[in-house]
Chains A and B, each alone.
Chain A
């Protein structure tokens, strides 16, 4: 008995571990393949877009033909398509995303300058949305048909279908400008005040600037966590182990918190990971409403110009991070759920 137990364990675990490694490697390979395809697709996608970027840049400005040619040469647009493609792939593999047409600076530098503020905003919003969504979803699913459930479902459906731009502007007009008895307390734009104080005051200043954009993002994305969590808790409610726990005389809240919720968390966790990929892309709309100096704003600017290298670079970054996070989501799901592992 004392000998057999470790042996049995070894037999149980070894193939599982190998399986896990093989699974992760397979997923990583798949991700690399996807990234390669995305690189190729990005190049051709942005070449398929109509229009001559140099001329678009010259719009509204007096440019001589020589100047246009010069600009074309400088951007490497006078080379043949295959040449441009090889150059693009070579550069991308060296993490060089080219030079922005409009800013005349490396795209990677421009991204680097803005990625921090995007991560701050979307990261905070994601944490809040996930927490709120899971909490509210679990309570709603636990007592389906209750007033709380009806209220939660209704509100999440409304927020899910509200256009982000509209909601953001509404919040801006009410809470930044002030309406009636509500004073305008939040800033209208940006990540910091022009004359922001130093030290802790600076942190508070940023926090104040984050409130409205964060609220907009949370309102728009938290509904999906709520709905997924609600339905998976709903699945657990009728399960035998829940009945057993209740029969043991445990408090209802404890049965929910300690038994049902952990089991119901799986699909939500996957959703969270998949969503992290989009965090890098930020919220183009939210950043544009609140002049938040992040990646979304950069992408929005790039589209407005249009600045093809900048669009290409940010697009590539966003797609690659989505692929990486999806892969991670698969692997984490695999780790968390033994049923998937053994299958």
Chain B
């Protein structure tokens, strides 16, 4: 049996010693490796919904427009210019004369085919269906693309649909079943996908035909990790060169490594509380079992006052966030961000919160818990959070403490994500719930989650609501901003919408989590974030950072890995020989014993 042990040791050590060092680069090509903690769901852009997939498709395909690297305003991409009719219903885009990676010219036909496919084929609607929802017709004439809309839509220039090559994709039979796994892919963006191993990696080659000019590196690799902790180890070790979307603990684990730059910037998310302030269905019938006290704006205001947002940032987010004095659009989007000022600003003030509730007639009982003015119910709220998110648990602890001082009991209700979505989005079986959205450069989508039409029907169909909000004033502002094509004027309306959300408090913004990333400075010589002044690297809606990324030249690198490998290889060899010798000697002895 000792043989087994020696064999095992030999196999293990042999494997270690002789396998090539991971960091070796083929033929001195400039390769940048990006770690992603999510794998591709599909290479087919009509089907892919995960963030990593849409990022990779952003790097591969051209879009009508792309957010400008400085201002985040829509700027030309495949569409080099555009005009809008005075009624805002007809948009004409001039498609630039670019080339597909197989040499064919890019025409308006390609864009028209892409949008029409999505409008007519249910399978093609899967990923970006709502983007063409408002399209009446799409036609092409040479390089001119004309889109007619059903109603005016100012967010038109934030179109999330990659333009696909008609001459390749029109041959696909069933879009809903097509895996798009023939490589190299035909694309018009900065990179061409050349290889995809499922759950392992995607290799993207620089597109020499790209209209802006080829990227400065030869190859971009996206390497998938299931486990963020392993990805952090991978970055420290040099298996990958950059990683985004880190949680605070993983980000802090990068501290103290001289080769790694910790990239901590404003993020695109807001974390907030949803308040069940009297949920109704889309035909205005009450639904769910929300606590009646939450219908009272004064109670919602008192809750808002009782939250020490700075403390949440410090203790729950390890300081890696910004306390929210605004609403659901984070400060990263300077044009649209709104912040409460002066008397309107709600700052942590437990005494004032208590006074508001006292004045409103919610008296404290002998047990210190308040009751409704008519004495019918105690102020005992439930707080719905997700089962698998430790950060939310921590948040719940703080809220429970503060609300207790206010005379309100908070009990935490942990739900798995599908139950959570059901209770907070359809059946309204909650009082308070945690929430948060990633916001696009155009905030139309996240604002739309507060529209009356987003509430579910009586039978629980449809939806996509935040807090079951339905407010005539908000609704009116939403329609206005959709018609307003002047960006400054539109931004002013969008700010009014946020102000409405802040004062009416169907949602209470807690903080804006930072965007936490890390990269190796011994591998990445330069990378331009989006926006350029300390913006994001990975996960923004732009190819900009990965178009501009520059690699440290290969000869500047040290080569320590292969030496270690060699030493271990020799040690392994010696060990195996020793083990074999020992075993043979023993075996001889054994046989001799038996002969006697």
Residues of A at the B interface (CB closer than 8 Å) are: 49-53, 55-65, 67-71, 74, 102-105, 113-114, 128, 131-132, 134-135, 138-139, 169, 172-173, 176-178, 183-195, 197, 201, 204-205, 207-208, 210-211, 251, 253-254, 287-291, 293, 297, 300-301, 306
B136 located at the interface, meaning its Cβ lies under 8 Å from any Cβ of chain A in the complex = no
B584 located at the interface, meaning its Cβ lies under 8 Å from any Cβ of chain A in the complex = no
Known contacts A102-B41, A195-B25, A113 near B16 by CB under 8 Å: no
B200 touches A192 (CB 8 A): yes
Q: Choose one: B18, B236, B461, B590; the contact of A177 (CB below 8 Å).
A: B236
**Which B residues are in CB contact (< 8 Å) with A207?**
11, 14-15, 19
**Which A residues are in CB contact (< 8 Å) with B445?**
62
B462 touches A185 (CB 8 A): no
A55 to B15, alpha carbons, bound, how many Å? Answer: 46
B458 located at the interface, meaning its Cβ lies under 8 Å from any Cβ of chain A in the complex = no
Q: Once A and B bind, how many residue pairs between them come within 8 Å at the CB atom?
A: 198
Q: How far, in Å, is B160 (CB) from chain A's closest CB? A: 9
Q: How far, in Å, is B593 (CB) from chain A's closest CB? A: 5
B425 located at the interface, meaning its Cβ lies under 8 Å from any Cβ of chain A in the complex = yes
**Which A residues are in CB contact (< 8 Å) with B397?**
none
B421 touches A132 (CB 8 A): no
A70 touches B125 (CB 8 A): yes
B464 located at the interface, meaning its Cβ lies under 8 Å from any Cβ of chain A in the complex = yes
**Which A residues are in CB contact (< 8 Å) with B229?**
169, 172
**Which A residues are in CB contact (< 8 Å) with B25?**
195
A62 to B128, alpha carbons, bound, how many Å? Answer: 8
A64 to B454, alpha carbons, bound, how many Å? Answer: 8
A185 to B411, alpha carbons, bound, how many Å? Answer: 48
A173 to B229, alpha carbons, bound, how many Å? Answer: 9
Quick one: which of B8-54 are within 8 Å of A by CB? 8, 11-12, 14-16, 18-20, 22, 24-26, 33, 39, 41-42, 47, 49
Q: Choose one: A55, A63, A208; the contact of B130 (CB below 8 Å).
A: A63
A193 to B203, alpha carbons, bound, how many Å? Answer: 12
B233 touches A188 (CB 8 A): yes
Q: How far, in Å, is A288 (CB) from chain B's closest CB? A: 5
- Interface pick from B103-111, B219-227, B293-301, B374-382: B219-227
**Which B residues are in CB contact (< 8 Å) with A195?**
24-26
Q: Choose one: A113, A187, A253, A287; the contact of B226 (CB below 8 Å).
A: A287
Q: Choose one: B130, B198, B230, B425; the contact of A113 (CB below 8 Å).
A: B198
B172 located at the interface, meaning its Cβ lies under 8 Å from any Cβ of chain A in the complex = no
Q: How far, in Å, is B243 (CB) from chain A's closest CB? A: 12
B130 touches A191 (CB 8 A): no
**Which A residues are in CB contact (< 8 Å) with B425?**
55
Residues of B at the A interface (CB closer than 8 Å) are: 1, 4-5, 8, 11-12, 14-16, 18-20, 22, 24-26, 33, 39, 41-42, 47, 49, 122, 125-126, 129-130, 133, 176-177, 179, 197-201, 203, 221, 223-227, 229-231, 233-234, 236-237, 239, 416-422, 425-426, 437-438, 445, 448, 457, 461-464, 564-565, 568, 590, 593-594
Most interface-central of B4, B230, B461 (chain A CB within 10 A): B230
Q: Choose one: B5, B225, B416; the contact of A51 (CB below 8 Å).
A: B416
A104 touches B417 (CB 8 A): no
B233 touches A173 (CB 8 A): yes
Q: Choose one: A55, A74, A128; the contact of B421 (CB below 8 Å).
A: A55
Q: How far, in Å, is B13 (CB) from chain A's closest CB? A: 9
> 20 A-B contacts, Cβ less than 8 Å apart?
A49-B418, A50-B422, A51-B422, A63-B129, A63-B130, A65-B462, A68-B461, A104-B126, A131-B4, A169-B229, A188-B234, A189-B231, A189-B239, A194-B200, A201-B19, A204-B15, A205-B20, A208-B15, A251-B593, A289-B227
Extra 14 A-B pairs, beta carbons < 8 Å, given A55-B426, A65-B457, A207-B19: A52-B422, A61-B49, A67-B130, A68-B462, A74-B122, A114-B199, A139-B1, A188-B230, A189-B231, A194-B200, A208-B19, A251-B590, A288-B226, A306-B418
Residue in A closest to B438 when the chains form the complex, CB atoms: A60
A49 to B461, alpha carbons, bound, how many Å? Answer: 19
Q: Choose one: A50, A184, A201; the contact of B20 (CB below 8 Å).
A: A201
Residue in B closest to A205 when the chains form the complex, CB atoms: B19
Shortest Cβ-Cβ A-B pairs, 10 listed: A51-B418, A65-B462, A207-B15, A135-B1, A56-B418, A208-B19, A293-B199, A188-B234, A50-B419, A177-B233
B42 touches A104 (CB 8 A): yes
**Which A residues are in CB contact (< 8 Å) with B231?**
188-189
**Which B residues are in CB contact (< 8 Å) with A306?**
416-418
**Which B residues are in CB contact (< 8 Å) with A293?**
197-200
